[in-house]
Amino acid sequence: MCSATQLRTSARFAVFLLLFWGAQPGSGANARTCPAPCVCFGELVDCSRLKRGQIPDAIPEWTVQLDLSHNKLQVLDSTLFSKLQHLSEIKLNHNELEVVPDLGPYASNITMLILANNRITRISAEQLRPFHALETLDLSNNNIVDIKANSFPTLPLKNLFLNNNRISLLETGCFTNLSSSLQVLRLNRNRLSTIPAKIFQLPNLQHLELSRNRVRRVEGLTFQGLHALRSLKMQRNGLSRLMDGAFWDLSNMEVLQLDYNNLTEVSKGWLYGLLTLQQLHLGHNAISRIRPDAWEFCQKLSELDLSSNHLTRLEESSFVGLSLLDELHIGNNRVSFIADGAFRRLTNLQMLDLQNNEISWTIEDMNGPFSALDNLKKLFLQGNQIRSVTKKSFSGLDALQHLDLSNNAIMSIQANAFSQMKNLQELRLNTSSLLCDCQLKWLPVWVAEQTFMSCFNASCAHPQMLKGRSLFAVSQEEFVCDDFPKPQITVQPETQSALKGTNVTFVCSAASSSDSPMTFAWKKDNEVLNEAEIHNQAHLRVQGGAGGETEVTEYTTTLQLRNVEFSNEGKYQCVISNHFGSSYSTKARLTVNMLPSLTKMPMDLSIRAGATARLECAAVGHPSPQIAWQKDGGTDFPAARERRMHVMPEDDVFFIVDVKTEDIGVYSCTAQNTAGAISANATLTVLETPSFLRPLMDRTVAKGETAVLQCIAGGSPPPKLNWTKDDSPLIVTERHFFAAANQLLIIVDAAEADAGKYTCEMSNALGTERGNVRLAVISNPNCDPGMQGSMEVGMAGGAGSDDDGWTTVGIVIIAVVCCVVGTSLVWVVIIYHTRRRSEDCSVTNTDETNLPADIPSYLSSQGTLADRQDGYILSESGSSHQYMTSSLSGFYLQSRDMNGLCQLDTGSETDMEAAIDPLLCHYQGPIGSLLRRENMYTTDPSDVFTGCSMDQRQVCIDSYSGSLTSSKRRDYFLSDHLDVCSSTVLMQLPNASLVHSSSHQQSDRRPSTEEGDLNDYGRPHECLSPCNTFMGTFGKAPWRPQNDIYTGFDPPPVMCNRVTLHENPYAAPDGDSDHENFLPKDSASEQSSSVYEQPFDSRTDPFPQRRTST
């Protein structure tokens, strides 16, 4: 095997001798006369190297090839070629010609003209024009300094050689006339420093040589127009920069030679367009880096030469895309690091040259560094400072045939390190440093069984008695293990996790029986840490063994990492070495963590409805934190359900498109990793233009009544409200009050001057909205005076025992406090102003200020108050309750229904709310203010209240009873005994109390002083016919009492019997404290009434039903 080269050399020499003897002159049957002193070979007449004047005057006419080189010719006589009509090739090289000679009339037949090594200084089109058939022109080694435009006539020239001239300039268009035929152009060894872009417009050119010039930089598109170029040679130019697209348009090129230049890196920019490149020679440059995507545009490479460069690392991405690579030369570099999987994608590689690098650890410690090279046949690793070979060093190389490990001081080879290479034919190894102990016993036996013992030169260095002896001269009994001079790892470094900024320590220990000097090194990710803080120590210990006790030196090395950063993450390994070899510890991983910190914090955002909300949140940490969003502490996003939410992780942006009011809330951004979590909040406010939550409704009140105008405003931010009257500023008097942030305009003791158009203007930063309300004030409401009737009492309940009464009142008070705790303040103000206007009652005021019952609960917190209200309905939002009062005031319109009965409208919203609220009942009749009878207790439990009954009762009431000056006691006429309210909640005026009586006997006592006061007005009592649909609480049908409750009552006679209703003993706190003074002491006995107490809002009777008779 080792003498194969000599055999090939001998064969070539034999072939040369045969060719020489077969080509001797005169041989063959068709020998022709050759002129002296020339030599003839077939059709070749060789007249070269003749002395001056010895060139024959006549050249044979049959001459096809003529050689006149090396004759120092300065001039040629054209007559010499006048008869050479068959001449096609002529050599005139190595003469002293200064111009292209005239070769006679048959120059048009010449296809090859060799004029190399003459003194020609320029190329003339006139001199070349006679050579119509010229295909090859060699003008190398002349004195040509430039090539001007149109230097060449139109010729069928295929090969043009201009090597070794003094050409420094190529003018644009200099090769234009050769564009249709030129295939080979050689411009080597000239003085070109720049190559103009698009200078070579030669679509048929296949080979271009520009070696040994002075081109330092190649711009983009320099070789555009060379579509057919297959090879380009630019060696030894001093090239240092190849710009992006330097070889663009060379789509058919197969060979690119850039050896012996100053290139520093390989990148895809200058390789762009080389889609068919098969051979790339970059040897003897200064390349130190291969970019990860360098081979993207030349993935058909079969041969890559990177030898003799400055490469120190082979990354995992260094050869990505070269799956067709057949040969890879990386020898004579400085490679000391080969990443795991660096050769993973080179599945077709057959030859790998890594000689003269520094990859000892790759063979000694890595687990199968070449395992992916299934088709590798030749591996060259000579001169790599390899000291040991493990059984995993060459795993996976089943097809390997040639392995060269020569020039390595190998000391140990693990058992069966080569046995898996079944096809190995040649193994070269020469070492004199083997540790011949029991672990090497297998090697001489295995080598003897192979066929390459002649190329295997190995001898022992230890133990001392075997030093210098050939491996094959040591007997099997002499391979023993009495000591362990090579270090053995006893303590392995441990994997750790640490927070950024803390200190980390790795500890590693090894033992050895040799006193050879020990060296310590630490590696991070297979690279040596040259400037690390390392502390080493050693101590002796005694170790027992089969041969007795042995002194062993134990070495400990410590790696200290201070203020660790993320760059410190990786795998750490200690290497302990001495003269006998190196030991590698296991790899311990270090993980550095950092708590997340926000780099972009979400900010509070106010935005118009319908716009797009943009919230940013970004965080850094290690590991990289994950970003999550929450709304109001949960994951319920209305925008997500409606597909209006978009999260852009790459942009750290959270979008909500078409923002709505339900998107309002607190959005939390949470960044979390294994070290911890951090969050930040942002409030999203949706802005809306002002709008009316309820339509504005006109109001009609009687003179002296309290009027309430509503302007329930919506919008964000909450709009400011302003009232005007008749398009003029509203003149505010002591009778005007504003409540609920000006959403309610209250006019006490309405006068005719208060009538008119009121404008509510609401505005915020987004706009203004206006609405009108018309207020009508009736000066003297009056119904038919002849109508007399009885008034239904709007409250059911009795004057039961004090305990039961206080229980009921306590429930009401608790409900009022919980729902409308703030409303009392406004009522205090209203009562205060009402008392000031009272003239007839100096101590207390019994009139009621009627507020609408549809004031939302959220307005109550803004100062809208009501005195003790005796019923409640659903609030505006539906989430809380609000108390309401059904009006019993005596203000009404002079309108009549189909029965001719007068209808009442007090301006109170309570009646409106109760009638039109769909949650309560379906109302179909006109609106009134007094209670109706028949729909309270019907025979069918499923009855609903659909309208006014045709059975009406009349009530006689003083026309001024609703004024602010009325007395505490009022005279009513009893109606039917069933006209009792189903609720025990007392429908009470602000300062008046009612004691409901069920007595049907006419009182025979004399009118009191207060009653006389009422009659002194001289006004007749007016009879009213109420028509109001009574609504149960929250739309329920009122509780229906048992039939036997009223069995003892007879229908009253059809007449106006006067009944005195006294104040409720559980009156509001602002009522008259000494109201008992207005009642006779024996009033209770005189009235002899029965009181029934109805449970509040219940269809069953939770309280005991009582009747109290006095």
Alpha carbon distance 262, 241 (integer Å): 8
**What is the rounded average pLDDT of the residues 807-831?**
62
pLDDT at 901: 39
pLDDT at 692 over 60: yes
Reduced to 3 states, what is the DSSP secondary structure of residue 118? coil
CA 561 to chain centre: 34
Q: Which residues contact 198 (CB under 8 A, 6 or more apart)?
A: 221, 222, 224, 225
Alpha carbon distance 747, 739 (integer Å): 11
Closest CA to 359 of 580, 589, 578, 528: 528
Q: Kindly state the tokens that stand for 786.
A: 């002849």
Assign 1079 a pLDDT band (cuts: 50, 70, 90).
Answer: very low
pLDDT at 1101 over 90: no
Burial of 1077 (0-12, 13-18, 19+ CB in 10 A): exposed
Closest CA to 841 of 953, 967, 755: 967
147: part of which helix (H) or strand (E)? Answer: strand 146-147
- pLDDT tens across 694-741, in order? 888 898 999 888 989 899 988 878 888 899 988 888 888 888 888 888
**What is the rounded average pLDDT of the residues 308-325?**
94
**What is the rounded average pLDDT of the residues 777-796?**
48
- pLDDT tens across 74-92, in order? 988 888 888 899 999 999 9
Return the top range by mean pLDDT from 274-278, 481-485, 838-842, 1095-1099.
274-278
Burial of 154 (0-12, 13-18, 19+ CB in 10 A): middle
pLDDT at 593 over 60: yes
Closest CA to 90 of 37, 152, 141, 46: 46
The DSSP line for 96-112 is: --SSPPP--GGGGG--E
Assign 642 a pLDDT band (cuts: 50, 70, 90).
Answer: confident
pLDDT at 536: 92
Assign 607 a pLDDT band (cuts: 50, 70, 90).
Answer: confident
Q: Which of 46-50, 515-519, 1101-1105 comes out lowest in average pLDDT? A: 1101-1105
Contact 1077, 998 (CB under 8 A): no
Q: Kindly state the tokens that stand for 1007.
A: 């009118």
Contact 370, 396 (CB under 8 A): yes
pLDDT at 545: 57
Max Cα–Cα distance, the chain, nearest Å: 181
Q: Kindly state the tokens that stand for 227.
A: 């579509």
Q: Which residue has the higher pLDDT, 900 or 737?
A: 737
Ramachandran assignment for 548, one of left (phi > 0), alpha (psi -120 to 50 degrees), beta (any other):
left
Q: Which of 127-131, 347-351, 951-955 comes out lowest in average pLDDT? A: 951-955
**What is the rounded average pLDDT of the residues 244-268?**
95
Residue 213 per-residue DSSP state: S
Q: Which residue has the higher pLDDT, 159 or 742?
A: 159
Tokens 């234009």 -> residue = 176
Dihedral pair phi/psi, residue 964, rounded to 5° = -75, -5
pLDDT at 36 over 80: yes
pLDDT at 412 over 60: yes
Alpha carbon distance 302, 324 (integer Å): 6
- pLDDT tens across 531-548, in order? 889 999 988 887 765 555
**What is the rounded average pLDDT of the residues 442-470?**
87
Rg, C-alpha atoms of the chain: 59
pLDDT at 1078 over 60: no
pLDDT at 833 over 60: yes
Assign 893 a pLDDT band (cuts: 50, 70, 90).
Answer: very low
Q: Which residue has the higher pLDDT, 799 or 118?
A: 118
Kindly compute the dihedral angle of the four CA atoms of residues 290, 296, 301, 306, in this order, to the nearest 10 degrees.
-10
pLDDT at 4: 46
Burial of 966 (0-12, 13-18, 19+ CB in 10 A): buried
Assign 485 a pLDDT band (cuts: 50, 70, 90).
Answer: confident
pLDDT at 674: 83
- pLDDT tens across 46-76, in order? 999 987 667 888 888 899 999 999 999 998 8
Assign 824 a pLDDT band (cuts: 50, 70, 90).
Answer: low
Assign 926 a pLDDT band (cuts: 50, 70, 90).
Answer: very low
pLDDT at 753: 84
CA 1078 to chain centre: 81
- pLDDT tens across 878-891, in order? 333 333 333 333 33
The DSSP line for 741-777 is: TTTEEEESS--GGG-EEEEEEEEETTEEEEEEEEEEE
**What is the rounded average pLDDT of the residues 604-626?**
88
Q: Which residue has the higher pLDDT, 1110 or 502?
A: 502
633-636 long-range Cβ contacts below 8 angstroms, 24+ apart = 633/666, 633/668
Assign 553 a pLDDT band (cuts: 50, 70, 90).
Answer: confident
Dihedral pair phi/psi, residue 690, rounded to 5° = -60, 145
pLDDT at 818: 60
pLDDT at 373: 93
Q: Which domains does the chain have, with CATH numbers?
A: 30-191 (3.80.10.10), 488-591 (2.60.40.10), 601-687 (2.60.40.10), 693-778 (2.60.40.10), 781-799+886-1110 (no CATH)
Share of the chain above pLDDT 90, in %: 38
Alpha carbon distance 329, 327 (integer Å): 7
C-alpha angle 203-207-208 in degrees, rounded to nearest 5: 90
Alpha carbon distance 395, 886 (integer Å): 99
- pLDDT tens across 359-400, in order? 988 888 888 889 899 999 999 999 999 999 998 899 989 999
Q: Which residues contact 695 (CB under 8 A, 6 or more apart)?
A: none
Q: Is the Cα torsion angle 68, 73, 78, 79 positive or negative in sign? A: negative
Closest CA to 143 of 98, 193, 179, 181: 98
Tokens 């362990």 -> residue = 484
pLDDT at 31: 53
pLDDT at 358: 92
Assign 813 a pLDDT band (cuts: 50, 70, 90).
Answer: low
128: part of which helix (H) or strand (E)? Answer: helix 125-128
**What is the rounded average pLDDT of the residues 954-965?**
37
Closest CA to 70 of 49, 87, 51, 89: 49
pLDDT at 1089 over 70: no
**What is the rounded average pLDDT of the residues 574-597?**
90
**What is the rounded average pLDDT of the residues 433-446?**
90
Q: Kindly state the tokens that stand for 79.
A: 């007559």
pLDDT at 128 over 90: yes
Closest CA to 894 of 886, 904, 908, 884: 904
pLDDT at 900 over 70: no
Q: Kindly state the tokens that stand for 349.
A: 């590689």
pLDDT at 192: 95
Q: Is the Cα torsion angle 288, 292, 297, 300 positive or negative in sign? A: positive
**What is the rounded average pLDDT of the residues 94-102?**
93
- pLDDT tens across 943-953, in order? 333 333 334 43
pLDDT at 234: 96
Alpha carbon distance 1092, 984 (integer Å): 9
pLDDT at 209: 97
Closest CA to 997 of 1022, 973, 964, 1033: 973
Reduced to 3 states, what is the DSSP secondary structure of residue 144? coil
Q: Kindly state the tokens that stand for 1073.
A: 């404290």
pLDDT at 1066 over 60: no
Alpha carbon distance 443, 414 (integer Å): 9
Q: Kind of pairing, strands 767-778 and 756-764?
A: antiparallel
Closest CA to 422 of 439, 405, 398: 398
Residue type at 337?
Answer: F
Tokens 């012996």 -> residue = 260
Tokens 């109606």 -> residue = 975
pLDDT at 1044: 41
- Cβ count within 10 A of residue 926: 20
Ramachandran assignment for 86, one of left (phi > 0), alpha (psi -120 to 50 degrees), beta (any other):
alpha
Assign 197 a pLDDT band (cuts: 50, 70, 90).
Answer: confident
pLDDT at 970: 38
Average pLDDT of the chain, as a whole number: 74
Q: 377-416: b or e for each residue (b if 16 or more CB lie within 10 Å)?
A: bbbbbbbbbbbbbbebbbbbbeebebbbbbbbebbbbeee
First-to-last CA distance in the chain?
141
pLDDT at 151 over 80: yes
Q: Kindly state the tokens that stand for 740.
A: 């609920």
The DSSP line for 2-25 is: TTHHHHHHHHHHHHHHHHHHHT-T
Residue 405 per-residue DSSP state: -
Alpha carbon distance 664, 682 (integer Å): 11
